[in-house]
Structure 1
Amino acid sequence: MKRHPLRFLTSSWPVRCWAFLFGGFLLGLAVLVSLALLLCFGVLLSVVGVGLVILAVTMVFGLPVANLERRRLRLVEPVPPPDPHRSLAGAGARTWLQTRLRERATWRELGYAVILAVFFTGANAGFVVLLGLSGMLVATPVVVWALAPEAVMIIPGQAIDGPVAALPFCGLGLLGLVLCAYVAGLLAAAQVKTAWFLLSPRDEPSRSRVIELTRSRIRLADAFEAERRRIERDLHDGAQQQLVALTMTLGLARMEMGESDSAAAELVTRARREARQALDELRRLVRGIHPQVLTDHGLAAAVAEVAMGHPLPVTVDIDLPHRLPGMVESTAYFTVTEALTNAAKHSGASQVAVVGRYVNDRLILLITDDGHGGADPAGGTGLSGLADRMAILKGRLVVSSPKGGPTQLRVEVPCSG
């Protein structure tokens, strides 16, 4: 409504807000009457003991109201507040009541029921009256046309002379409907914000612990990444250079021996060949730790390089508008390489496709193979490790692998901080 005021009028949002507020008026009226009756009977019958039970029921009256309100909020809020209560399946009535009374969410929901019954019911009632008057004014020409002009009096003592004379009242009603659309948007927004504030989970100590655990996990991941880069640098600048020097020294020694076919010459040739093999193995190890192409050219180029050396035909279609954060690129790269390795080892596929897009500040990757399917995270295929890697960045891994295939891994990684 704030970004596109005119487009808001022509959308379905005004009608949805009207339905939400009208339903809120009926629900609030019912809640108001129910609370009043419960309190009156509870106080009056408290002397005989039954009233205490009624008062206890009154204290948890906010729970069904909150559950109904979460369902009703879907009219104007695609994702309503989640239920803050823990499950008590199989618990008895007394245990259930004692547990709910100890939860702070129960009292917040009771407070919301009171606010709904007192404040929002009054505000919604005023809105319903305004909407009804606007609708009546809009329909004035039709009413005048259907009835005799002398039978229709908008102003006391003055009849309307035909439908044309009623058009100003129709215009006034249209202005009233426009006003109702914006007023409904504001009232609905206020009620949604109140619902999120009082009906959503707010266990602050647990939330703080979860946030600290998440931060510590990210710090550990960063430390692991830094250590891996250090090992890569040491191998590249240390052991790899020494093997290159050894290979060159053995080559010079073989040149000094000339055309000799002695046993020493054979040993030097063999040592040089083994040194070259060790150098190739070390280079592959360094590239596996963190490929240089990922650092220099980004995720798309790194995945394309892996695809060229893969035993299966791999189609790569990764289109990103810009470079992503280093941790995101690294996590996505090793997830793709692990998924391609799993496809080669376990899927029996003949081809694999990798598609990557940047949508709503999230990296979306789809790795699909045409194998026999049936991938099971508990079967040692590495899917659990991939999910753990995603969890570090609060990402998500969704696996679809029916029997007979195909198998598709959907990877979603947030790219924001």
Structure 2
Amino acid sequence: MRPRSVMEALRLPPVRFLTSWWPWRSLWYLTTGALFGILAGSVLLGLLLAGAVLSLMIVGLALFLAAALSGIVVARVERRRLRIVEDIRLTDPHRAPERRGLRAWVRTRLSEPATWRELGYTMLMTTALCWLDGMVVGVWTWGVTALVCGPLYIHDSPLSLTLTGSVFGLALGVVLLYPMSAWAAARAAIAQAVLGPRMETEARLTEVSRSRARLVDAFEVERRRIERDLHDGAQQRLLALSMQLGLARLELPPDSPGAEPVARAHDLAKEALAELRELIRGVHPKILADRGLHAALREVADRAPLPVDVDAALPQRLPGGVEACAYFVVVEALANVAKHSGATRARVVASASGGRLTVQVRDDGRGGADPGRGTGLSGLADRVAAAGGTVALASPVGGPTVVHVELPCGS
């Protein structure tokens, strides 16, 4: 079986190992590591010195910030270099910023643990690892070159001494390929330990979060399609049926045998139409799609069984998934207020700023809400988490109960 790393190649029989490309890949890996480490260390030292000199100016702070983020570039290069001695591809663990622009990118990177691990690896590489790489490469090249070519510079050296030195130098070079490749394997293991497993896990978690967001978006699109089909199809036909039954009811004399069945059918059609409208509103309210979150919240407040004040500062439309999540959060929260809190009044406050939508539902009830008692708060939290938001609940005994939700909504 073909080895997938220099560590596996070291376990091969000597002939197979020495005639493969792995020793020379190890030499190239260590050589580039030494050169890149020295270059990265020089750039990092230059940034720190320049930042210290200009520390009283904004430029100095920017240089310090660049030094702190330099590990991202170094780690990206190191992941690519690792392919020289490892048939492995490490993914980038950094998540995409929620908004565009340099400020959002910097804020996101500074908040990620991966950034600081990469900076730590950069410091280790520039202060120790690259110099060890250079020493190993230097010992191998100097030892082989000195023994092979050294006798040529000795005047009047016998031919036998020259040939013996050259043969011994070549043999030593072959033998030293083993410790050199072993150090390359150890060096790659260090890089993979810092930049690898945890970052692979973070990358998988990042991909899970992204796939969950895609599923939420797809589910929201499907709900809107179902709402549109019900509204434009079944509801319109049921409305036409109700009108036809109403007309037939008017045409029949009150004492005719068919008057009572037609009247009953008309009432049932009206009840089914009302239930269908309520179902459509639960799937995806048309007012939310047509007029936005502000108008939809006011409609929810009007339909609530208790007085609800709405204070929504939303100057523009938000992404459809965000509006739908916020809408159903408010619907669920007000349903809990009506069923469990004993409140006489509630208040809904919504505002959007800094790329985040904040929604707060407050009531004057008795408090003591517990998500573990199946009051719908767990499902509410799951819905918000799927949209990348957070939920905070404050419900002391005696009230009030406050549900605070924040959702990312872009710039």
Q: Does 1:320 align with 2:320?
A: no
SS across alignment from 2:344? coil
Aligned to 1:410: 404
How far apart, CA to CA, are the structure 2 residues paired with 1:181 and 1:222? Answer: 45
Structure 1 residues 228 and 122, CA, compared in 2 at 3 Å: closer, same or farther?
A: closer
Aligned to 1:192: 68
- Cα contact 2:47–2:67 (8 A) shared by 1: no
1:183 to partner: Cα distance:
6.9
Aligned to 2:238: 243
SS across alignment from 1:263? coil
Gap regions ≥5 residues in structure 1: 1-110, 131-177
1:369 to partner: Cα distance:
0.8
Aligned to 1:162: none
What is the TM-score normalised by the length of structure 2?
0.56
Structure 1 residues 225 and 187, CA, compared in 2 at 3 Å: closer, same or farther?
A: closer
1:182 to partner: Cα distance:
5.2
Residue identity opposite 2:383 in structure 1? R
How far apart, CA to CA, are the structure 2 residues paired with 1:182 and 1:299? Answer: 41
SS across alignment from 2:335? helix
How far apart, CA to CA, are the structure 2 residues paired with 1:122 and 1:265? Answer: 93
Aligned to 2:165: none
| 1:45-84 equivalent positions in 2, closer than 5 A | none
How far apart, CA to CA, are the structure 2 residues paired with 1:215 and 1:183? Answer: 36
1:192 to partner: Cα distance:
3.4
1:257 to partner: Cα distance:
2.1
1:405 to partner: Cα distance:
1.1
How far apart, CA to CA, are the structure 2 residues paired with 1:179 and 1:119? Answer: 15
Q: Does 1:265 align with 2:186?
A: no
SS across alignment from 1:404? coil
- Cα contact 2:364–2:399 (8 A) shared by 1: yes
Structure 1 residues 199 and 410, CA, compared in 2 at 3 Å: closer, same or farther?
A: farther
Residue identity opposite 1:242 in structure 2? R
For residues 212-254 of structure 1, what are the alpha-carbon distances to aligned partners after superposition, in whole Å with 9 as ceiling and x for unaligned? Answer: 2122212222222222222222222222222222222222322
1:189 to partner: Cα distance:
2.7
For residues 179-223 of structure 1, what are the alpha-carbon distances to aligned partners after superposition, in whole Å with 9 as ceiling and x for unaligned? Answer: 744575355434533573424985331122112212221222222
Structure 1 residues 180 and 269, CA, compared in 2 at 3 Å: closer, same or farther?
A: closer
Structure 1 residues 268 and 372, CA, compared in 2 at 3 Å: closer, same or farther?
A: same
Q: Does 1:215 align with 2:210?
A: yes
How far apart, CA to CA, are the structure 2 residues paired with 1:182 and 1:235? Answer: 59
Aligned to 2:110: none
For residues 345-368 of structure 1, what are the alpha-carbon distances to aligned partners after superposition, in whole Å with 9 as ceiling and x for unaligned? Answer: 111111111111112110011111
Aligned to 2:270: 276
How far apart, CA to CA, are the structure 2 residues paired with 1:364 and 1:210? Answer: 25
What is the TM-score normalised by the length of structure 1?
0.55
How far apart, CA to CA, are the structure 2 residues paired with 1:182 and 1:256? Answer: 85
How far apart, CA to CA, are the structure 2 residues paired with 1:254 and 1:267? Answer: 9
Q: Does 1:298 align with 2:292?
A: yes
1:372 to partner: Cα distance:
1.2
Q: 1:233 aligns with which of 212, 224, 228?
A: 228
Question: Superposition RMSD on alpha carbons, in Å?
Answer: 3.0
SS across alignment from 1:335? helix
For residues 137-172 of structure 1, what are the alpha-carbon distances to aligned partners after superposition, in whole Å with 9 as ceiling and x for unaligned? Answer: xxxxxxxxxxxxxxxxxxxxxxxxxxxxxxxxxxxx
Q: Does 1:379 align with 2:373?
A: yes
Q: 1:361 aligns with which of 350, 355, 364?
A: 355
How far apart, CA to CA, are the structure 2 residues paired with 1:392 and 1:257? Answer: 55
Aligned to 1:256: 251
SS across alignment from 1:349? coil
1:120 to partner: Cα distance:
9.2
Q: Does 1:393 align with 2:269?
A: no
Percent of residue pairs identical? 53
Structure 1 residues 244 and 180, CA, compared in 2 at 3 Å: closer, same or farther?
A: closer
How far apart, CA to CA, are the structure 2 residues paired with 1:198 and 1:412? Answer: 31
How many residues are aligned here?
253
Gap regions ≥5 residues in structure 2: 1-36, 72-115, 122-193
Structure 1 residues 261 and 403, CA, compared in 2 at 3 Å: closer, same or farther?
A: same
Structure 1 residues 183 and 248, CA, compared in 2 at 3 Å: closer, same or farther?
A: closer
Residue identity opposite 1:205 in structure 2? E
Structure 1 residues 122 and 341, CA, compared in 2 at 3 Å: closer, same or farther?
A: closer
Residue identity opposite 1:185 in structure 2? L
State the structure with bigger RCO (CA 8 A, min sep 6), 1 or 2: 2
| 1:15-54 equivalent positions in 2, closer than 5 A | none
1:274 to partner: Cα distance:
1.4
SS across alignment from 2:255? coil
How far apart, CA to CA, are the structure 2 residues paired with 1:207 and 1:306? Answer: 40
Residue identity opposite 2:257 in structure 1? A
SS across alignment from 2:305? coil
Structure 1 residues 281 and 183, CA, compared in 2 at 3 Å: closer, same or farther?
A: closer
Aligned to 1:147: none
- Cα contact 2:341–2:367 (8 A) shared by 1: yes
Q: Does 1:310 align with 2:304?
A: yes
